[in-house]
Every structure is written in C-alpha cells, then in structure tokens.
Amino acid sequence: MTASSVETTTAAAKRPYMGYVMAAAGATLFATKGILIKLAYAQGLDAETTLALRMILALPFYLVIGIHAFRTMKQSGEELPDRQLWLRMIAVGVLGYWISSYLDFKGLEYISAHYERLILFTYPLFVVLFGAAFFCQPIRPKALVAFAVSYAGLALLFAQNLSASGMSTVTGALYVLTAAVTFALYQLFAKPLIMRVGPQLFTCIAMGSAGVAVILQFLITHPVQAIFVSPSLWGLGLALAFGATVLPSFFLSAALKQITAQANATIGMLSPVVTIILAMAILGDAVTGMDWVGAALVILGIGWFTLSERKA
C-alpha cells in the first residue's frame, strides 16, 4: 500500500467522526431557534413576519457564499449543474426551508418551545420509514433500539410538559408534526444533490430559493411597512438568521455528505435537550426531575446509535 493510499484511507476513517461532530453542532444551534422565535412573538411579531425577517438577514450570507462556491466549481473544471439539477435543488430547498420552516414557525404561535422541539424531532422516525419505503435504505436492529430509547425519553419529556389542552394545542401540534414530515423528506431528497454539487453550493441554492418564497409570501400577506420593526427585533432577527439558520444549515449539509440521513437525524435529537436548558435559562421555564430523566434517555439513544453506526 502506497503512502497516498494510506492517507486516503486514514482520511476516510476520520470523515464519519467529523460528520457526527457537525451534526451535533447543527442540532445545538438549531435548538436556539424556538427560543428566539418565542422572544420575537412576545414583542408582537407573527410567524410570517418573523420568518421574513430571518430570511432577509440570512440571504446576503448565502448569496456571497454561493457565488464563491460556484466560481470555485467553475475554476476547478468541475461539471456545473444543469437546468434539471438547478430545478431539483430549488424544489428541495422550498420543501425544507420554506414549507417546513413556515409550518414550524406557525406551530410556535400556538404551543411552547418545549412542545415544538419535541414534536419536530419525531422526524428521524419519518426519515427511517421513508428511507426504507422509497429509497431502499436498510433499517438496522441497533438503530431501532436506539430509536426506542430516544423516543421513550422524548415521550417522558412530552408527557411532563403536556399540561395544557384544547384546540390551540392540537392545532400547533399538527402544524409542527407536518413540518417534521416535510423536513424528513427534505433530508432524504437533499442527500444525492449534496453529493453531486457539494454542501456549500447546495445549501446556498436551497436557502436562497426558500428565502425568495418566504419574502413573496410576506409581501402577499402583509403590507411592506410591517417589516420595519424595532432595533431589538432586528437584533433577534440577526441572531435567528445567522446563529440559528446560516451556521447550522451548513453544518447539516456538510454532515449529510459524510454520514447517513438516519445518523444525522438521530444525533439531531440532542436538540430538544438543549432547548430545555435554554428555555429554563432564558424564558424561565421550570424543569422537573422527570424532564432530566427523559433527557438522559435521549442522550443514551443518540450515543447508542452513533457507536453502532461507526462499528457497522
């Protein structure tokens, strides 16, 4: 074996580990989203305005990075995306970052950040089910054990926080559950596109197309002057745009290139735990001992799946 082949093998061995790290970082940053949205809602914004504020501030980042990624592909002589591939990236971006995001934001108008995060992160189950049903992806027994443990923890957390009832809770839950389904489909459809054009260009096209859709939706449903909000809301919008959108979206795409969608989705279940901690620290939510038991089960399930995935 030559030195170059040894280096290639070593790099390949390290690559999944970095995929897990990026998936965890993305999940942690995404966990701040619900908290920031709740803070914006507390100051009078609705879902459409908050989502538009997020995308208006995020789009410049994606535009600059996207142009750089496209130029890099062109200069290196790589095959550029054809018209069909561009349309596929736009469609997947609209699915994952407009439809799914809007449903999620809308659900947060009715339910707490706890409920939202717990319901949204049932999407790993849909990733595995849809992957097996439509993409011929195997379901490993160890993964099922990991899911059972993690979802047991999520069920405990959900039951502990399910103190309110009524149509508003049902409405919000249905919005977020639908968001979970569409986001699972996004992850599965995004994987081959990321492998084809790379995570940077794909993420910029996906987020850029979703951003245009979000802004058009806002202009249809609101007067233009509704976007002129207070400086504090612009600050929340910037935190939502960069810290909870731009950075984690690149982490997610990069992780999807290196690990399976199922692994990325399962590691993402760390996010509800982070949300609980942030909700307690920032929103003043009370957290009981049973909440922490559920959180421990979630972390145990994530660890089990990660180890079994690397040993497979």
**171-211: per-residue pLDDT in tens?**
888 899 899 899 989 988 998 898 888 888 898 999 899 99
Checking if the pLDDT of 2 tops 50, the result is no
CA distance 33 to 269: 14
> For 209, how many CA atoms within 13 A lie in the half-sphere containing its CB?
17
The domain ranges of the chain are: 16-137+165-284
Smallest Cα–Cα separation from 105: which of 185, 189, 36? 36
Could you report the per-residue pLDDT of 293-309, keeping only the tens digit for each? 877 887 787 667 655 65
Distances (CA, A) of 272 to 132, 158, 296: 25, 10, 11
Could you report the per-residue pLDDT of 38-60, keeping only the tens digit for each? 999 999 999 999 999 999 999 99
- Specify which of 3-17, 123-137, 203-217, 238-252 reaches the highest per-range mean pLDDT: 203-217
Residues 6 or more apart in contact with residue 300 via CB below 8 angstroms: 149, 150, 153
CA distance 274 to 121: 13
**Is the Cβ–Cβ distance between 201 and 65 less than 8 Å?**
no
DSSP letter for 294, please: H
Task: Please give the pLDDT value at position 9.
Answer: 41
Smallest Cα–Cα separation from 244: which of 53, 43, 44? 53
Residue 62 or 8, more confident = 62
**Is the Cβ–Cβ distance between 232 and 39 less than 8 Å?**
no
**Is the Cβ–Cβ distance between 124 and 183 less than 8 Å?**
no
CA distance 131 to 186: 11
- Angle at 271 (CA atoms; ends 266, 277), nearest 5 degrees: 145
- Specify which of 163-177, 244-258, 260-274 reaches the highest per-range mean pLDDT: 244-258
Interval 257-283 mean pLDDT: 78
Return the structure tokens found at 99.
């439809």
Could you report the per-residue pLDDT of 208-231, keeping only the tens digit for each? 999 999 999 999 999 999 999 999
Checking if the pLDDT of 5 tops 50, the result is no
CA distance 305 to 300: 9
- Specify which of 244-248, 271-275, 299-303 reaches the highest per-range mean pLDDT: 244-248
Beta-carbon count within 10 A of 155 CB = 13
Task: Please give the pLDDT value at position 13.
Answer: 46
Look-up of token digits 């940077």: 200
> How high does pLDDT run on average in the chain?
82
Return the structure tokens found at 271.
């996010």
Task: Please give the pLDDT value at position 11.
Answer: 44
Interval 159-178 mean pLDDT: 75
Return the structure tokens found at 167.
């149509």
Beta-carbon count within 10 A of 14 CB = 11
Return the structure tokens found at 256.
């999807």
Checking if the pLDDT of 104 tops 70, the result is yes
Task: Please give the pLDDT value at position 163.
Answer: 61
Task: Please give the pLDDT value at position 159.
Answer: 72
Residues 6 or more apart in contact with residue 52 via CB below 8 angstroms: 214, 215, 217, 218, 222, 227
